[in-house]
Structure formats: structure tokens, C-alpha cells
A and B are shown apart, each in its own frame.
Chain A
């Protein structure tokens, strides 16, 4: 699937076509297809804006998490990624095309769309990282419904990235079980453990239990039933939770009559 990569220099908009197809004069002969795709991306980004607007949350980090999920869900609904026309090796170009449209806020007809610029962070200088962290993570996040994903990561992109970058524990069943594990904690424990500094030991412990390589790496989370995986994850995470956020700790601190 040839993609159209927009650019703006000295206030002039320009574009190149990228594809892995052979005999294409650097993709230029497939510009009509790339422009059709560009219009589909417009619809997808409009849908992402609408999905994000449906969720009301005041907290900035959660807002950013919701946007990332919304981009992923809109991408999935659009069918762009699953398209049989997307040749191997072209997915990075698709991310680049979408990221560039967001960054420049440019529709297929060249008109401006400011709302898209808020879908992507504006302080990430490395385009590869932007594309990987935003679109690939968004697509991954949306495999769960928003409420479940919010529960698994406390609505934090940083927490989500800690799991995402550890390939062996990236699976949906780990995240579903993680959400279930958090759900069964007291709200105060949950709040404490989803702070990025406290979430990191949880992610590390899971990665140690399910290594990505070396001894013990062949049996992966995906090979467990949900119940067995839940039991394993409780075994790994409960001791850390007891240490970092003991049950009832907050009520003890908040109650002046407790004598502490």
C-alpha cells in the first residue's frame, strides 16, 4: 500500500510517495493509490478525535492515555493496518504518514486540521520514536476496552510503555490479568501502585518471571490459561504490593485516632 508522506518547508506543502513495490519510480507511479489512502487516514483521524472527545477526564496524563488509546482504536476500526494491500515493510511508512499528517495538521486536500495536532505529543523529537510509541502502542492498547486498559495501567502511558517494551509480557492475557489484579486491590493501594515509580518494580518482576530470552523463556504467558496466569501473577505481584502499599495503610495514616 503506497503511502503519501507530507512535508512543509518555508510554508510550502509537499509530499512524496513511499512503497516497497518494484518498478514504481520511487512510488510516484502509485500516487493515486497513496492519495486514496490519505483520504482514508483523514477519516481515521477524525474518528480518533471523536473517540477521545467522548471520554471526560480532567487529569492531563489520563487525557493523553485516552488519546493514545483512541488513535489505536480508530486505526483498528479503519482496517488500514489489517489491509491485505499493506505490503511487508510498509507499516513503518504508514506510521510515518499518519504522524506527519498529525504534526502538520494537514488534510488530504491540503487544508488545515488543528485537532489532529493534539493527538500526538509535541515534545518528542525523534520521528521513529514518535511513530513507534504513539501508533504501535495505541494499536496495542486498544486490544483492550478503554476501562480495562485504564485499570491495567492506571491511565498512565509511562506504565503502559514499561509493559510494552518488555516483549514477553506484552500479551493481552497478561494485561487482562493485570487489570483484574488491580481491580481486586483497595482503591488506595491501586492509586499507590499505579504511580510510575511504583509500577516499575511490578513490570520488572513480571519480566523476571516471564523472561524474553534465555532459560525459562519458551513457556510464555500466552501458553497459560487465564486462571493459571492469574495465580502466577498474584504470586509475583502480591509480595511487592504488600511492601509498597500495604492493605489498610492509607486509612491508618488518615485516621488520627490510630495512634500513628
Chain B
């Protein structure tokens, strides 16, 4: 008996039974080896693209031309990004270098992505985001983040509360950075 480890993908097992040199029976079976769905890469809910340019660009911006697939773009020539180290993702539990920059813009991007449909009264993205505590996140901190995001959604669209909205949005982004750092 021999055992083999198969990589993800489709594999076929075939067997011929020979009698006096002739094939008298044949059988085959197909095996599909799948990647663990828990490892899927659908987060954050938009693509992230780096623009190779030294010209002035916003720190980040969304391309919403395809409403079903937003793209967050940030420039490689952004002065803060250029000044940061390109090291490992994190040497300790703390984020560092360009990774911290990227996580920061993503945290802000997630807020815009969630809040955009709130203008139309659609809270589905907010519900999706907060539907369960992410693996490795501190439940209390997640609860606080969740409360702040709901407050933010409630303020969305009230122009008289713009300062308060912006302050709360920065607070939410900061909380999500902390949550990211806590992950395993």
C-alpha cells in the first residue's frame, strides 16, 4: 500500500485490468481537492492597487467605476509612503513601515465602503461587516468598534454634524487598526 498527498485541483485515478495482455476491465474516478474556504481572500471587500507615480495624488481614493468591484488606489510616490521602511509585515505585534500605511488606508477605505450605501438607507454592508467577531479579535474591543460604527452610520448624511462625523470616522479607523494588530 502506498499513500500520496495531493495538492488542490482535479486529479484522476485510473485502473486497467489485464487478462492475457488484453484490457478486460477499466475504471476511473475523479477527485477534486479544494482549498479551505476559510482561507479565501475576499477581505477587504475591494481591490487594492498601487499607482506607480511621483506626481501628486490623494493619499488614497476609490475607483467606483464598477459598482460591484471597487478599487482602492494609493500612490507609491506619496511622501509618507516613500519615507517608510519596506520591512516584514510586523516584527512584533505592532504594525510597522509601509504595512502600517496600507492597513491605515484600508481602515479608512472600509469605512467609506460601508457608509456609502447608508446615504440611500441601505445598512447591509454595515450588517455584513459587524455580523460576527473576527477570529483573534478581542470581543470587548470589537463590541466598542461595532457601537462606534453604528453611531457613525446614524450621523451619516447630517451635514450639520460634519465635524462630529469626521472625528468619529477617525476614531473608528483607529479602533480597527488596533483590532487588526490584535489578530493572530
Taken together as a complex, chains A and B put the C-alpha atoms of A7 and B52 apart, in Å, by: 10
Taken together as a complex, chains A and B put the C-alpha atoms of A214 and B16 apart, in Å, by: 9
Contact (Cβ within 8 A) A26 B47: yes
Q: Hey, which chain B residues are within 8 Å of A15, CB to CB?
A: 49-50, 52
Stretch at the interface among A29-37, A62-70, A227-235: A29-37
Within 8 A of A (CB), among B1-34: 7-9, 12, 14-16, 23, 26, 28
A161 proximal to B (CB < 8 A): no
Q: Hey, which chain B residues are within 8 Å of A19, CB to CB?
A: 41
Q: What residue of chain A has the Cβ atom nearest to residue B33's Cβ?
A: A88
Contact (Cβ within 8 A) A217 B16: yes
Contact (Cβ within 8 A) A26 B48: yes
Q: Hey, which chain A residues are within 8 Å of B87, CB to CB?
A: 32
Q: B54 to nearest A CB, angstroms?
A: 10
Q: Hey, which chain B residues are within 8 Å of A25, CB to CB?
A: 43-44, 48, 102-103, 106
Q: How many residues of B contact A (CB 8 A)?
A: 34
A252 proximal to B (CB < 8 A): no
Contact (Cβ within 8 A) A217 B50: no
Contact (Cβ within 8 A) B52 A13: yes
Contact (Cβ within 8 A) B35 A110: no
Within 8 A of A (CB), among B121-144: none
Taken together as a complex, chains A and B put the C-alpha atoms of A61 and B177 apart, in Å, by: 56
Contact (Cβ within 8 A) B52 A110: yes
Total contacts A-B at CB 8 Å: 87
Q: Hey, which chain B residues are within 8 Å of A213, CB to CB?
A: 12, 14, 28
Within 8 A of A (CB), among B89-132: 89, 98-99, 102-103, 106
Contact (Cβ within 8 A) B16 A215: yes
B80 proximal to A (CB < 8 A): no
Contact with A along B57-76 (1 / 0, CB 8 A): 00000000000000001000
Contact (Cβ within 8 A) B41 A22: yes
A28 proximal to B (CB < 8 A): yes
Q: B120 to nearest A CB, angstroms?
A: 26
A16 is contacted by which of B44, B47, B106 (Cβ under 8 Å)? B47
Q: Hey, which chain A residues are within 8 Å of B166, CB to CB?
A: none
Contact (Cβ within 8 A) A22 B39: yes
Known: A20-B39, A88-B8, A215-B16. A30 touches B48 (CB 8 A): no
Contact (Cβ within 8 A) B50 A32: no
Q: A86 to nearest B CB, angstroms?
A: 11
Q: A154 to nearest B CB, angstroms?
A: 31
Known: A20-B35, A213-B28. A29 touches B41 (CB 8 A): no
Contact (Cβ within 8 A) B41 A26: yes
Q: Hey, which chain B residues are within 8 Å of A58, CB to CB?
A: none
Contact (Cβ within 8 A) B48 A89: no
Contact (Cβ within 8 A) B28 A29: no
Within 8 A of B (CB), among A74-125: 88-89, 110
B102 is contacted by which of A7, A29, A110 (Cβ under 8 Å)? A29
Known: A14-B52, A25-B103, A26-B41. A215 touches B47 (CB 8 A): no
Known: A32-B98, A110-B52, A218-B15. A27 touches B26 (CB 8 A): no
Contact (Cβ within 8 A) B73 A23: no
Q: What residue of chain A has the Cβ atom nearest to residue B17's Cβ?
A: A218
Q: A122 to nearest B CB, angstroms?
A: 23
B183 proximal to A (CB < 8 A): yes
Q: B86 to nearest A CB, angstroms?
A: 4
B binding-site residues for A, Cβ under 8 Å: 7-9, 12, 14-16, 23, 26, 28, 35, 38-39, 41, 43-44, 47-53, 73, 86-89, 98-99, 102-103, 106, 183
19 contacting pairs across A/B (C-beta < 8 A):
A13-B51, A13-B53, A14-B51, A15-B49, A15-B50, A16-B50, A17-B48, A20-B41, A22-B41, A23-B183, A24-B41, A25-B103, A27-B48, A31-B86, A32-B87, A89-B8, A213-B12, A217-B28, A218-B14
Using A25-B44, A217-B16 as known contacts, list a sample of 20 further A-B pairs with CB atoms less than 8 Å apart, ordered by residue number in A.
Answer: A7-B49, A12-B52, A13-B52, A13-B53, A16-B50, A20-B41, A22-B41, A26-B44, A29-B89, A29-B102, A29-B103, A32-B87, A35-B86, A88-B7, A88-B35, A89-B8, A89-B35, A214-B26, A214-B28, A218-B16
